[in-house]
Copies of this chain bind each other. A is one copy, B any other.
């Protein structure tokens, strides 16, 4: 990794910030691609080159790749909110499919450059009669298809990753971060003598999910970029399924004050999904029946076969999320 030119898209996002920090520390020459200039320049470590580029602008993408000439590309940019994808499905197609294509097309002229595209577990089977469960799923499914297709059509070194639910400190909109925010708001309200915030609704407490620390996922991306086999999809997960209720209990144990919770109906598995608009636990896809529409097959490859394994336990992830959330705007990852 040391000395290699690594271009990271979506660099100001939750995973992107961790990726920039990790690979810069590893000695890569990191170019952090952001849509607009970050107000807080300090979001990236010293030495990281920030590059402002709208990935929806084909010419701008081609210009950027021609200028940076990256050895490796970690493509994390994209939209990932299921509810938002219902509101503006075309935006999801443009952002998750066309922007990826612009990148792949520009990289045709840098044939040695390896690109790792971050996919999603929420893809669907294109041959299923039911169709995709939501536009987000459609967009990520097509993103995977075009990425692998560009790889085979143009002999490009394209790799895919399918991370499980990533958690950790930083600007995540996932379930853990949203509950942590509720806990911290409750603590702040108590400190100011204000009324408690309205209850956090979690009616899917028995739903099982694999949670992985984002920092472990970023290390896995490094393994895949360096050692992965072109054209393959690598799954990245902790290997342990946890009930959402268990995770919630562990987070609530950090609370310094009582926190209002709505645990939903008794038969939780019959209830609606978590109220969270989290990408990781989408409302439209997390009921047991909706889950069956989503492709859950084991892919052939897991990052573990490249020698990677998770290093950060769930308890530390959750403690770090609480710590980051308490630090508020001062929080740095």
Q: Taking beta carbons and an 8 Å cutoff, which residues of A are in contact with B?
A: 58, 89-90, 93-94, 97-98, 101-102, 105, 125-127, 130-132, 134-135, 138, 141-142, 145-146, 148-154
Contacts and interface: CB of A to CB of B under 8 A. Distances in A.
Contacts of A101: 90, 93
Nearest to A98: B98
Given A125-B127, A135-B153, A142-B145, 16 more contacts: A89-B153, A89-B154, A90-B102, A93-B146, A127-B127, A130-B152, A131-B151, A131-B152, A132-B152, A132-B153, A134-B153, A138-B146, A138-B149, A138-B153, A141-B145, A142-B146
15 contacts: A89-B153, A90-B101, A93-B98, A93-B146, A94-B98, A98-B98, A131-B149, A131-B153, A132-B149, A138-B146, A138-B149, A142-B142, A142-B145, A142-B146, A145-B145
A134 B150 CA distance: 10
A94 B242 CA distance: 42
A148 B141 CA distance: 14
A95 to B, nearest CB: 12
Interface residue SS majority, chain A:
helix
A200 to B, nearest CB: 29
A102 B94 CA distance: 11
Contacts of A102: 90
Contacts of A135: 153
A127 B90 CA distance: 24
Contacts of A127: 125-127
Contacts of A142: 142, 145-146
A125 B145 CA distance: 10
A291 to B, nearest CB: 17
A100 to B, nearest CB: 11
Nearest to A133: B153
A151 B90 CA distance: 14
A78 B101 CA distance: 19
Nearest to A138: B149
A76 to B, nearest CB: 22
Nearest to A144: B126
A105 B131 contact: no
A124 to B, nearest CB: 8
Nearest to A106: B90
Nearest 3 interchain pairs by C-beta: A131-B152, A126-B126, A138-B149
A158 to B, nearest CB: 10
